[in-house]
Amino acid sequence: MKKSVFLGALTVAGMAAGVASAATVDDVKARGTLNCGVATGVPGFAAPDANGEWQGFDVAVCRAVAAAVLGDPTAVEFVPTTGKTRFTALASGEIDMLARNTTWTFSRDVDLKFTFVGVNYYDGQGFMIPKELGVTSAKELDGATVCIQTGTTTELNLADFFRVNNMSYEPVPIETNAEAQQQYLAGACDVYTTDASGLAATRATFETPADHVILPEIISKEPLGPLVRHGDDEWGDIVRWTLNALIAAEEYGVTSANLSDMASAATDNPEINRLLGTEGNLGEMLGLDADWAVKALGVAGNYGEIFEKNIGESTPIGLARGLNAQWTNGGLLYAPPFR
């Protein structure tokens, strides 16, 4: 009897020790698919198209990572998450990475135990309001009813903004962008607030986008980027440098048009050579193939191409590059050297 209890206790201890750390990259390779958390539907950023294929700016990051790790951009299981469910999904291991216009903040990085691998869109919180209300500044919103996605940083910024400016408001918490759109269009709230890019994307889907204005005030910094769980640095490095590869490729002029030429033989730019694996062993350092970045870039091209195709000025969403231009063009995008 005593022996069996002892053995049982041993098993318990052994199993508990065994759970702790299995590398995410090994899990992904063994599974053959990448589980990527995305938004439930923000046009341009992450939304299924008419054929049910996920398309968008955030989705492109997932596909690039899947291509770099598995060599197949379609080997992605997209998990739609709401502002509320996303962190639990990531922390519990249901998804391997989260690319869901998520703001990089101190407490999420430090206290929630996530690792933000970079920024793929520099954003800020704005307000959208029907033109007929005649409001021109967010300072005139005293007493307004505001639709707000619950569980987001925007919820806290909103509370701070109204408190600091000594104004009152009535929050209407909603779960997804689609619900917000329904309530806003029906007039159940006067104002919809979220990241300015999200507002532009939402407004683009309205019947008459011109009837709605986005107020000039941007009340917060919202650096949006992909994130992974704390404590698995190998996996974090893979996602980080895949994103950097997309950004660096634009800086060096690697596009989907000239990718195969540049990757087939070494060019006279050593930085490009190291990025595309024709020189050095960066891929091996990451634990991936030498042409990992070529595969990632082969999906939809570099950062600039992805931006233009999904949310750029030629799309209905029509966002300018602004802060999201390369540092050489006065923007904030700056990939560390591939060396």
Partner 1 sequence: MLIYDTRYRSLTIQVVAMIGFMLLAAWLINNTLANLNTLGKPIEFGFFAEPAGYDINQMLVEYNNQDSHLRAAFVGLLNTLLVAFLGCITATIVGVLVGVLRLSNNWLVARIMTVYVEMFRNVPVLLWIVLAMAVLIESLPAPSAFRGDEPEATMKLFDTIAITNRGVYVPEPLFSRSLGNFHLFGNSPLRFDVSLDLIVILAVLIASIFGMRTMSARANRIQESTGVRPKTWHINLGILIVPMVIVLALLGFHLGYPELRGFNFGGGTHLRNSLIALWLALSLYTAAFIAEIVRGGILAISRGQTEAANALGLRPGKTMRLVILPQALRVIIPPLISNYLNLTKNSSLAIAVGYMDITGTLGGITMNQTGRELECVLLLMLVYLVISLLISGVMNWYNNRVKLVER
- 208 binds partner 1, rule: CB under 8 A: no
Q: How far is the CB of 322 from partner 1 (least distance, A)?
A: 28
Q: How far is the CB of 200 from partner 1 (least distance, A)?
A: 23
Q: How far is the CB of 201 from partner 1 (least distance, A)?
A: 21
- 169 binds partner 1, rule: CB under 8 A: yes
Say whether 174 sits in a helix, a strand or coil: strand
Sign of the torsion angle spanned by Cα atoms 320, 204, 125, 304: negative
Interface segment toward partner 1; rule CB under 8 A; list 8-16, 51-59, 73-81, 263-271? 8-16
Among 34, 65, 172, 276, binds partner 1 (CB under 8 A): 172
Residue 180: CB partners within 8 Å, gap ≥ 6?
A: 147, 148, 149, 174, 192, 194, 202
- 79 binds partner 1, rule: CB under 8 A: no
Helices and strands (H and E) in the chain: how many: 14, 14
- The whole-angstrom separation of Cα 229 and Cα 235 is 9
**Rounded to 5 degrees, what angle do the CA atoms 194, 200, 206 make?**
105
259 contacts 300 by C-beta, under 8 angstroms: no
**Rounded to 5 degrees, what angle do the CA atoms 241, 247, 251 make?**
130
Among 142, 211, 234, 313, binds partner 1 (CB under 8 A): 142
Among 188, 285, 320, 332, binds partner 1 (CB under 8 A): 188
Write out the residues near partner 1 by the rule CB under 8 A: 4-5, 8, 11-13, 15-17, 19-21, 83-84, 87-88, 91, 107-108, 111-113, 132-133, 141-145, 150-151, 155-156, 158-160, 162-163, 169-175, 182-183, 186-190, 229-231
